[in-house]
Amino acid sequence: MPTSAVSSATSCGCPLTLLEAFASSAAALRQFGIPRVRVVGLSEGCTQQDYERQRARPDGKDLETLLQESSLRGPHGRLGTASRRTQNEQSSLHEATAYQNVPVVTEQEFMSKFVFHSRPCVILDALEAWPALRKWRDDCYVFDLDHTVMRPKNVTVALTPNGRADSVTRVTYATAAVPAEEAARVYAGDEACKQAVLLSPLTHAADTDGGGAIRQEKIFMYAAELRVTLPQLYGLLLRSPMRSPPHPIDIDMRTYADKQRTPAIAYAQLQNNCLNTEYTHLRVDLLPNVERFGCRVFSKEAVEAANVWIGIPASVSSMHQDWVENLYSVVRGVKEFVLIPPWEGPFVPKPEIPAAAFAIDEAASLIDPEDDRAESWSLQFKQYPVKDGTVVPWMDFDLAGADAEVDAEGAARAELEGRLLEKLRVSTSPSPSLLSSAEAKRASNDEDAAAAREEAGRKPLHPLVVYVHPGETLYLPAMWLHRVAQHPDSTDLHARQRHSGSANAAASASPPPLPLTAAVNYWYDMSFSNPSVVLLREFGLLL
């Protein structure tokens, strides 16, 4: 429905239909972005009196106007610039607690304005009383470096060479590296050939590398996983590179023979209710207010899962969607979300591709369980993707927050065009070629490029970017597509700068704090009677 039609319906005082309300919410998101709000009874110090004062504002602004002005992309949203990623958290807290232009909503309004409309928002001040905001600043405490946890605590860590677990990846490898027994099972035969999404190799497929053909495929890559103690997790994070490789979704596994060129990037991202299974010692630092709030507004008796996320900037979660309502609370660091609404989800390519895992080559690695902080560990990845014979439907779309900040629609269109062009060239050429940027420019006028451009133009995407800082909680509605990156916050950055600038930094017995991002999120089953879900289902947009 055109925005003008929605506006006229609103101005005449007529009640909005479900479709009109949904279109109005979508239009507001495109124009203004993600609003930031305080919720009566959830945000620290936010009372019914604050809500009543807002309703009696002398300027007469209604709630929707305040929501627009508080949006992270809004013209009046002072936090809505790219600098929000690295702003000083103390000044942010001071500004956030000024309250004048931060909308106050009741739980009922939160349900009607956000849950029923499938509209994301950032909730301020809900974590102010959490001990974790203070205690999780201490690496020694989080990772039990002084061994105060009553018994050895083992957790699951994901390890990748590129910082991308559970991601569509363009993989180059030599077939000679694949053991014969595995090659016969999942790399050869009619079924494997049918499933393979072949791309052109870095050299021609007929060329050889050490006596074996070189193969390049598009593969859904899982992380390698290890069970480690908390101090060992700290050691692995400490040794991980702070930035992912320049082209993390294009990897050449032949280089993994050189350990120095292939460091392991660690990320604690197990999910599966890991707060209550692997990080029980940290639960005491979390108050139940956010979890209970979710149960009320989503009409659930209990949370489906509570997860802990601990990582560094090199790790990124690829674009995906979850069929759960999500309250994502950041305790330390900054989480960067690139969001695409579910009604635009069908425009994002979602091919079915072979699944494989990065795997640690145990014969070539040194893993000493007795090494308290994994200081002597030497990890080497296998030089081929370890397939399991399955295929996975996954979104083949990668858009960074920095690109979306500059021109969200333009960056999304360029990424979509690139994926469509790749698909066209693979499907129409007997020796498909994955174009480099220079080749893409030379081919901009050919038939495939024109077709990809035309198709991308028919599939408009409107990504939103939101940075969630310590003490903030993102409400991420079910089915919203999201890519999640992470950055150190100003507190850790300043501490690291002070450490490196001190005269005795080199001789210091204690390292600087990790550039850590730590968060807790709560999942709730989505309701198929939710108006937004009903509308998406009626239009055939449930993916």
Neighbouring residues of 436: CB distance < 8 A, sequence distance ≥ 6? none
d(CA 134, CA 126): 14
| pLDDT band with cut points at 50, 70 and 90 for residue 8 | very low
Q: In 3-state terms, what secondary structure has residue 2?
A: coil
Q: Looking at 9-13, 32-36, 218-222, 358-362, which range is the least confident one? A: 9-13
Q: Are 288 and 279 in contact (CB under 8 A)?
A: no
| pLDDT band with cut points at 50, 70 and 90 for residue 474 | very high
More confident residue, 220 or 91: 220
75-109 tens-digit pLDDT: 323 333 333 555 445 444 444 445 567 999 999 99
Sign of the CA dihedral running 230, 235, 238, 239: negative
d(CA 475, CA 121): 5
d(CA 316, CA 406): 20
d(CA 405, CA 468): 15
Q: Are 307 and 273 in contact (CB under 8 A)?
A: yes
Q: What pLDDT was estimated at residue 121?
A: 95
Question: Per-residue pLDDT averaged across 32-42, rounded?
Answer: 91
Q: Looking at 20-29, 100-109, 192-201, 443-452, which range is the least confident one? A: 20-29
Residue boundaries of the structural domains of the chain: 33-125, 154-270+348-398, 400-462
CB atoms within 10 A of CB 509: 5
d(CA 446, CA 452): 10
Q: What pLDDT was estimated at residue 190?
A: 72
d(CA 422, CA 435): 8
d(CA 404, CA 413): 11
Polymer length of the chain: 543
Cα distance from N-terminal residue to C-terminal residue, the chain: 22
Task: Name the percent of the chain lying above pLDDT 90.
Answer: 56
Question: Per-residue pLDDT averaged across 289-298, rounded?
Answer: 98
d(CA 212, CA 254): 12
Q: What pLDDT was estimated at residue 266?
A: 98
Segment (H or E) for 340 = strand 334-340
Q: What pLDDT was estimated at residue 32?
A: 62
- Which DSSP string do the residues of 257-308 spell out, in sequence order? G-GGG-PPEEEB---TTGGGTT-GGGGGGS-SHHHHHHHHHTT-SS-SEEEE
148-157, 182-191, 227-236, 532-541: range with highest mean pLDDT? 227-236
More confident residue, 56 or 156: 156
336-378 tens-digit pLDDT: 999 999 888 889 999 999 999 999 999 999 999 999 999 999 9
Q: What six digits make up the tokens of 426?
A: 């693979």
Residue 433 has pLDDT above 50, yes or no: no
Q: Are 236 and 372 in contact (CB under 8 A)?
A: no
| Planar angle of CA 361, 363, 369, nearest 5 degrees | 90
Q: Looking at 53-67, 230-244, 361-375, 490-504, which range is the least confident one? A: 490-504
d(CA 477, CA 156): 27
More confident residue, 203 or 376: 376
131-187 tens-digit pLDDT: 999 999 999 999 999 998 866 689 999 999 999 999 999 999 998 999 998 888 788
d(CA 299, CA 107): 12
Q: What pLDDT was estimated at residue 531?
A: 61
Phi/psi of residue 424, nearest 5 degrees: -65, -45
Instruction: Tell me, letter by letter, the H, E, C secondary structure of 393-448.
Output: ECCCCCCCHHHHHHHHHHHHHHHHHHHHHHHHHHHHCCCCCCCCHHHHHHCCCCHH
Helix axes of 89-96 and 490-501: crossing angle, nearest 10 degrees: 150
